[in-house]
Structure 1
Amino acid sequence: MVLEPISTITWVDSIDETLLRDRVQKMVSLNPWLTGRFVQDAKDGVIQLGYNNDTTAPEDTSSCAELIHSVEDPALGAYGYQETKSYTKLMTLVEPYLLKPGLDLKQQQFWKLVIVKPNLLIVSMTHALGDGASYYTLFQMLITGNIEAVPIERIFGALQEEKVKLLGGEQEANLISNWGYLVCFMRGLITSNLIAPWWPRAERATARFFLVDPKVIQTIKQDAKKDDVPFVSTNDILASWFFKETNLGYATLVVNLRERLPQLPERNRMGNYQDVIFYRVPKDVATPALVRKSVQGMKRTVTHEQPIVAPCPGQIGAIVMGTPSKLQGVSVAAPFEVQEDEPFMMV
């Protein structure tokens, strides 16, 4: 709940608002929890997802009214992606339309759509509802996919035991909670958000916006066929490029655990079922093919026998004082019959 929401901004030629509202209503009819709220048990304080099954009648549109909004915002509406040179400026304009992180249960809806006339669609989902895979399950239903009921019940079970097997041992499976990684993560968080605003020379995170050229991506995919992998994805290509260009010491890539663990056979189950693969940069990410192999095998390809964190002051120091990066996901899509070079931005 305290994490930033998963959100996308999509520029399109035009938006059929009636069609969009109809699809939202059908989605709610099969998934009434979309109109729910976080509720807290008065006895034990546990926060749960609460919703009303009586709001799912197809002819009842009141349950969807708060999910989708249509607004006129001249500043944002005129901000075409070709003029998007400042990510910070764009986020300032978009921020009022995104779901807010935090523990205020009174305002916590799960999923929100905003049409900014004439041709901008903003979709935002709280991370408490699910991860990136969950987000795109809903997004595809909204745009082009089949509308269906998706599993929402949480699975806790023996996921940790199975995850350890999948990732190749306790050390790899628990790196995300290692004290060295946490110290480094917190150092960056404190520096960027608390110190940097008051001290201009302090190190801080830099946000930038990039346009992806589909022709370049396609060329790289064709060239990768000689690298002993069945294919490379756009995400593999951009991950390899990003990690190398930023001159990182190590990096993490978030991966989806669905259909990899016995307890998670459904591709569309809602929830946060993901983990990370750690890389040494640049060896483990030198090519998109190496990233693809790591995702398939759930471990870095080149240095998998070398621990990221070892009982060695130098190695621990590299984690604590090094430069990290975490790549959530990069997506390029073409909903609403948009132009070939239309960007699909995940924020």
Structure 2
Amino acid sequence: MDIRLLPVEQSVMMMRTESALHTITVYEGQPPIDFLRHRVAEMARANPWLAGSLVGAGGVTVLRHPVDPKGSAAVYRLPQQEGMSYSQMVAALRPMTVKTGATAVNKDEPVFCVSVLRQGKSKWWLSVSLSHVVGDAHTFYSLHNMLGESSEVKRMDAVAGAKDIAAIETSAMAHAAAGKMKQLWAHPPPVAGFHLSPAPLDQAEAAAAGGVPFVSSNDVATAWFLQQSGADLGLMTLDFRNRLPGIGVEHAGNYETSIVYQRADFESAALIHKSVSTLRGAAEPRTGEPGLLDWASSTSAVVSNWASLFKQLEFAGSSHLTHVPVLNAASMPRGNMDTAVLFESAPGKLACLVAPSRGGFSLDAAKQSGAVGEPLEAVHF
């Protein structure tokens, strides 16, 4: 069966520059390998497209899947190495990472991969990877959160009928592509990962200062990162589910856009909070919409928030140590754009991964704000 992809899912930017969505969760204990094999197979029966692959012909790419799908979890053994750096961890996970869209077309490559990695006698990793071509962060975590022993397997709607409703390829994405492609072959600094200290990111204080009754931790962290980046232009990804008729949380695919900001729009967390209801920058006077030339000639930064999507998975006999997105810096053409992913390494523990551009976000400078806490490496991958 073939599932038609959205225009944005077949775009050059998505096919050639967007890496797979990928996370690892580290546990102390023994891995429930048999359970996970059965659970992934159960998920594939409920969502046959998970067992599919990308097929292209005549300039059109589809997700083709079998009528009677099969799925399982692979088992690997990690090198006997404690205290890996983040970059070493990413390298160790390369065989378990779903390939970028264009490199997977007509190659019978999986779009979804669950792997169990043993580390020593008492530690194991759960690796989950999804092609960005077939789903966004909401899709990824909806699947990820089905893997726990107490989780419910649900059907996600990925059929073409649902996709007819949402032509969501926005001008913001096109402008962002121009910014990312400006220095396609540059060699940017490595990914920086750290937890965020709660005190400098106080939500109540930020709300009072901005004259609004409430701001979220995402509002505060987004404003903080965009300010620390020093970018001329900013983007914050936004999920369109339950904002468009017929598109809800049960829909798999790339149903997201970006709110575009100029510097005046991210001067406070309150302005970020106000922008969500209007889908535009909230500064007064209103800032203009940047054009293609603005994106190509300006520095920019984009923020994605995965923190609210995360659910800690429970397995008998294992204890959760940390949860971390896997960002492959080598495959990210960052150009003049800083990229940040906000996530929870454990419930209530907010963290940030930043893929900086040259001359953009500086971890040393960000530490001066007091918001940079424990580095991810301190968890000992």
How high is the TM-score relative to the length of structure 1? 0.74
Aligned to 1:308: 289
Number of corresponding residues: 298
**For 1:66-108, what per-residue CA distance to the aligned partner results, in whole angstroms no more than 9, with x for missing partners?**
xx11111125xx44xxx46x43333222222211112442242
Amino acid at match of 2:258: V
Distance 2:324 2:138 in 1: 15
1:221 aligns with 2:203: yes
Match 2:280 to one of 296, 299, 311: 299
Aligned to 1:10: 25
Higher helix share: 1
Distance 1:87 1:230 in 2: 38
**For 1:118-169, what per-residue CA distance to the aligned partner results, in whole angstroms no more than 9, with x for missing partners?**
3211110001111111111111122354211111113454645xx79xxxxx
Aligned to 1:235: 218
Cα distance, 1:256 vs structure 2: 0.8
Distance 1:303 1:176 in 2: 24
Aligned to 2:155: 149
Aligned to 2:358: none
Consecutive unaligned residues of structure 1, counting only runs of 5 or more, are 56-62, 165-172, 197-203, 311-315
Amino acid at match of 2:324: F
1:134 aligns with 2:134: no
Match 1:255 to one of 235, 238, 243: 238
Match 2:129 to one of 113, 119, 124: 124
Aligned to 2:255: 273
Structure 1 runs, 4 residues or longer, greater than 6 Å off:
338-341
How high is the TM-score relative to the length of structure 2? 0.68
Cα distance, 1:306 vs structure 2: 1.8
1:326 aligns with 2:325: no
Secondary structure at 1:119's aligned position in 2? strand
Distance 1:157 1:26 in 2: 28
Match 1:50 to one of 42, 46, 64: 64
Distance 2:212 2:151 in 1: 28
Distance 2:96 2:300 in 1: 30
Cα distance, 1:174 vs structure 2: 2.2
**For 1:266-305, what per-residue CA distance to the aligned partner results, in whole angstroms no more than 9, with x for missing partners?**
2120111111111123x32233332222223312111572
Amino acid at match of 1:124: S
Distance 1:4 1:235 in 2: 23
Higher strand share: 2
CA contact (8 A) 1:280 1:303 kept: no
Greater Rg, structure 1 or structure 2?
1
1:27 aligns with 2:27: no
Consecutive unaligned residues of structure 2, counting only runs of 5 or more, are 1-14, 328-381
Match 2:271 to one of 290, 296, 299: 290
Distance 1:156 1:257 in 2: 12
Judge which range, 226-235 or 107-116, deviates more. 226-235
**For 1:3-41, what per-residue CA distance to the aligned partner results, in whole angstroms no more than 9, with x for missing partners?**
210111212223322332232222122112211222345
Distance 2:66 2:293 in 1: 51
Distance 2:217 2:45 in 1: 34
Aligned Cα root-mean-square deviation (Å)? 3.1
